[in-house]
Amino acid sequence: MAILNILYGPSPLFKEKAAPLGQIGAEEQQLASDMLETLYDYRGIGLAAPMVGISKRVIVVDLQQEGVRMPFIMFNPEITWRSKDETINEEASLSFPGISAEIKRPKSIKLTYQDKQGTQKELEASDWFATVIQHEMDYLEGRIYLDHLSKMKRDRLLKKMQKTVKQHQHQSSCGDQSCGHEHH
């Protein structure tokens, strides 16, 4: 397994619709394993392939509730139903460090996807789990969570993120107790 580099936004890749996968073989399984390893290394809960520079329809999600790893690997995920009930959650992204925003999304969803063996699966998700899946799915559809905001608010947050990244790169330590990454 390998730790992949996280692509920071804004990126033209985040505006592209990710390509569907044909056969799920060793290469796709390795990508998913590497994405999970990256997710855990960066202490995230969701990761989409475009976030590591690969325009393919793959997401990995692990809420790690109570410290227990229960990863979901989803190839070619498609949301088939969204509830009318909505919820608002504070969302952030590994590709947009140092910023977050309250985003309104459907409270529950149904989706289809293929697992690591290529078997077609169906899943119902609600609450935070549904939010995380929708957040990662945005990357596959050529959107980011900030696209749910007004242009003014999005631009303000992007400016703040770029300032944070610049400071982070110029410090020997970012001051974040949970950050385990080297700084140059």
How many angstroms from the chain centroid is the CA of residue 78?
A: 15
Give catalytic status of residue 141 as yes or no. Answer: no
Catalytic-role residue among 16, 102, 136, 141: 136
Three-class DSSP category at 75? strand
Distance CA 88, CA 51 (A): 23
How many angstroms from the chain centroid is the CA of residue 168?
A: 21
Distance CA 116, CA 75 (A): 8
Distance CA 181, CA 86 (A): 36
Active site residues: 136
